[in-house]
Amino acid sequence: MKKQSEEERKKKIEEIARHMHPHDDEPDPTAYMGNYNFPQMLFAFCLGFVTMFVLSVNEINNFKGCPLPEYFINEGKQ
Distance from the first to the final alpha carbon of the chain:
109
Domain ranges in the chain are: 36-78
Give the pLDDT band (50/70/90) at residue 21: low
Residues with Cβ within 8 Å of 36's Cβ and at least 6 positions away in sequence, in order, are 44
pTM over 0.95: no
User: 49-65, pLDDT tens digit by residue?
Assistant: 999 999 999 898 888 77
Residues 33-37: what's their mean pLDDT?
Answer: 68
- Residue 70: pLDDT above 90? no
